[in-house]
Amino acid sequence: MLKLAVLLALVAFAAALPAAVIHTVDPRIDLNGDWRVVGGSNAPGGAYPFIVSLRSSAGGHFCGGSILNSVNILTAAHCIIGRSTANTNILAGTNTLNSGGVVRGSSRLIIHAAYNPSTIANDIAVVRLSSGVPIGGNIAQVGLNTANTGAVAAILIGWGRTATNSGIPNNLQHLATNTITHANCQSSWGNSVSTMQICAFIGSGRGACNGDSGGPLVQNSNRAQLGVVSFGRAGGCAIGWPDVYARVSSYIAWINSAVAS
C-alpha cells in the first residue's frame, strides 16, 4: 500500500534531494516510492467516506489523505513537499479514481516544521482546500485516535499499487492488518523509528505500497485513524518488514493548530 521497504518519499521529491542528504539516509528506507496496498481487496462502496485521493492538476493520483473537516485534509509531508497549490487537488466521495465524487483545489499546504526528508521524521501535513467538500453521504470526517495505542487490529486503505511495479488500481483497496508494539517495530527498524511513529505488519505479501502514502491506517473496532502512511522497506512492497506510519495521537496538538491556522 504505501511505501514499504524504504521510507515512503515521493519519487519526484527524492530526485530533488542533494546527494549529501541522500547518503545520510538509512539504506533500508525507500525514498523512491509513494506506496500502495498489497494483498488487499476492493473496499465496499461508502465504507471509508473519509478517504480522499490527492491528485495533480492533470488528474493523476499521487497520494492518499483523510478528511479532518470540510476544508482540511490530513496527509503525509513527503506527499506535498515541493508541490504547489495549483498542482494539488483532492477527490472525495468515491471509491473509484475514474468516476464519481467531487474534486476540490487547494489554497494552502501546511507541512510540519520539523519534517526531516532524510529520516522521514514528522511526516505529517494538512492540505487546506480552496472550497469545502459537502459533508454527508459518501463524504465524512475521520475520527482521530488520541491514545498511545499498542498492538490492535487495524485496516489499511488506499489506491496504492497492488504489487511492486504494478499500476495504480482504479478501485479503492483495503487490507486487514495489525499494529505492533514499538519494541517489535524497533526489532526490525532499530532507531529509524521513534515513539512518534506506529508500525503495522501482517506478513509478507500484504501491506502498503506506492500510492498509499498519506492515506489512513484506522483501528478496526472504531475506525479512528491511528496512522498516516509514511514509509516501508527498500527493495519492494510487502516484503516482510513492518510498514511505518506517522502516529496520529502524537500529533493531535499540531493537527489542531494547523486546522486553526
Which sequence positions are flagged as catalytic?
A: 78, 123, 213
- Between CA 167 and CA 193 the distance in angstroms is 29
| Distance from the Cα of residue 237 to its chain's centroid | 14
Residues 172, 159: Cα–Cα separation, whole Å: 5
Dist CA 128 CA 124 (whole Å): 14
E-state strands within the chain: 41-42, 51-55, 61-69, 72-75, 89-92, 102-111, 125-129, 153-158, 173-180, 197-200, 216-219, 225-231, 243-247
CB-side exposure of 202: number of CA atoms within 13 Å? Answer: 19
| Residue whose C-alpha cell is 502512511 | 229
Local structure of 177: helix, strand or coil = strand
